[in-house]
Amino acid sequence: MNGEFAVVTGGGGFIGSHLADALLAEGRRVRVVDNFVTGRRPLVPAGAELLEGDVNDVAADAVRGAAVVYHLAALPSVPRSVKLPLESHRATAQGTLAVLAAAEQAGIRRVVVASSSSVYGDTPTLPKHEGMAPRPLSPYAAAKLAAERYAGSWASRGKVETVSLRFFNVYGPRQDPESPYAAVIPIFIRRLREGKPMPVHGDGGQTRDFTFVADVVRGLRLAGSAPGVSGRLYNLAGGAPVSVLEMGRTLATLTGKEARFEFGPARAGDIRDSFADVAAARRDLGFAAAVPLEEGLRRTLEWFSA
């Protein structure tokens, strides 16, 4: 697919900017679409065309001329969605609908939709597999599930090929530690560097499937070109559970600091345990995570220290 024109919505964000970099390195033409509500302008690669705007408003211009659209634009964060449910729905569910409708009109070959492990909810079954009934516990999770359903409906009608990917706790360089809705790893890194305890919501025994951003980018690229997968959804993850406390202790060891924690109440909408069955992505996409947690944390720390 070298030379193929690709669009990355949310390309000024943490994951989207890494994806845009990788596509450019393959020799692709890349258009980044972002309204910079949560994305950051400096993260947009110099070689990419930039279209600034909300995908709900600029979808037709956003997808024009492309062969594949990687749709990552959303309003991230479970706590943010609890506080701002209407905004979460518009950015995440309605934005996906706008992109799919525009893709159909423009004759786009494939749309890859970024979804989330949060759609599984707090079901006791582990690992989480794609055949499970979803049980979203937050507006963010519900909006991501709606995005998946919209994508599936377009694929079922043969209008546009779609693939939905459920991300599991992606981390790595470029995550913003200053956002009030920052993810746990950049928050822990910032607090360790400040010599302060790492804040934990709940008892810290909750598990997550921390997945390095380079692995997710590889999965996205595979989903953009794999044959015979339209209408399907896949987990993208490392496939191993790690507790929040265990991750924090690993970070502390890598920084040579004492692992100190500050415990607070669990957050509304958060789930207790989550890790993925990645057999389907391995079988159909050829995907397997390559970066173990300790190595990914080390690379993330190097970026924060640069």
- At 3 the pLDDT is 60
Catalytic residue (one of 140, 150, 171, 234): 140
> How many separate helices (H) and strands (E) can be counted in the chain?
11, 13
Query: Would the pLDDT of 268 be above 90?
Result: no
- Sorted by where each begins, the domain ranges of the chain are 5-168+211-237+275-290
Radius of gyration of the chain (CA): 18
Strands (E), 224-276: 232-236, 242-243, 261-264
- 16 versus 306: which is more confidently predicted? 16
140 catalytic? Reply is yes
Centre a 10 Å sphere on the Cβ of residue 86 and count the other Cβ atoms it contains: 10
282-301 pLDDT tens trace: 999 999 999 999 999 999 99
Judge: domain 5-168+211-237+275-290, CATH 3.40.50.720: yes
Q: What percent of the chain has pLDDT over 70?
A: 98
* Residues ≥6 apart with Cβ < 8 Å to 290: 214, 215, 218
- At 233 the pLDDT is 98
187-224 pLDDT tens trace: 999 999 999 999 999 999 999 999 999 999 999 999 99
97-148 pLDDT tens trace: 999 999 999 999 999 999 999 999 988 899 999 999 999 999 999 999 999 9
Confidence of residue 180 (pLDDT cuts 50, 70, 90): low
3-31 pLDDT tens trace: 689 999 999 999 999 999 999 999 999 99
Cis peptide leading into residue 177 (ω within 30°): no
Full-prediction pTM beyond 0.75?
yes
- At 280 the pLDDT is 98
- At 65 the pLDDT is 96
